């Protein structure tokens, strides 16, 4: 009489099924492990880009409020400067700004603001611009 052991039974899971399930879980977790740091770096860069844009827009507005005559005569720094708070204290952040003002016509100024910040491999920047009229 030939007695065979069944490869699977109705009452439990075989060793082969368990091993296949473990391999699938390990492969899935390793893929997640490699993707997660990349997603965190991308998210951090996006947040810093939004912060730089908001800081740059605020600096453009601050320059615009100085008025046309003041801006036309202003000499700006040649290197990026730290941001200042409302009490004129230096804000501790990696962001720095630099402005450039160009006279486009007798009654028109082009105001450019560049916000820079360090990133592990290189320096990133956001450029913003507006025009200001004498009138």
Which pTM value belongs to this model? Answer: 0.69
Confidence of residue 12 (pLDDT cuts 50, 70, 90): low
Q: Which residues contact 114 (CB under 8 A, 6 or more apart)?
A: 56, 80, 97, 98, 99, 100, 125, 126, 127, 128
In angstroms, rounded to a whole number, what is the distance separating the alpha carbons of residues 8 and 10? 7
Q: Please say if the pLDDT value at position 4 is more than 70.
A: no
Minimum mean pLDDT range among 2-6, 51-55, 91-95, 122-126: 2-6
Confidence at 30, pLDDT banded by 50, 70, 90 = confident
Residue-wise pLDDT tens digits, 74-107: 888 888 888 888 888 888 889 999 999 999 998 9
Residues in Cβ contact with 60 at an 8 Å cutoff, skipping those fewer than 6 apart: 111, 113, 128, 130
Query: What radius of gyration do the chain's Cα atoms show?
Result: 30
The mean per-residue pLDDT over the stretch 10-29 comes to 84
Residue 98: the pLDDT is 93
Can you give the pLDDT at residue 95?
A: 94
Express each pLDDT in 105-120 by its tens digit. 989 999 999 999 997 7
């Amino acid at each position: 009489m030939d007695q065979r052991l069944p490869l699977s039974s109705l009452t439990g899971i075989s060793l082969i099924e368990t091993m296949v399930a473990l391999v699938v879980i390990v492969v899935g977790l390793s893929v997640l492990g490699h993707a997660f740091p990349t997603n965190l770096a991308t998210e951090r860069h996006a947040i810093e880009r939004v912060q730089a844009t908001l800081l740059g827009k605020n600096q453009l507005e601050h320059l615009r409020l100085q008025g046309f005559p003041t801006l036309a005569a202003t000499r700006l720094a040649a290197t990026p400067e730290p941001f200042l708070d409302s009490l004129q204290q230096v804000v501790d952040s990696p962001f720095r700004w630099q402005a450039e003002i160009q006279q486009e016509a007798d009654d028109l100024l082009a105001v450019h603001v560049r916000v820079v910040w360090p990133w592990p491999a290189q320096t990133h920047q956001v450029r913003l611009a507006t025009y200001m009229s004498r009138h």
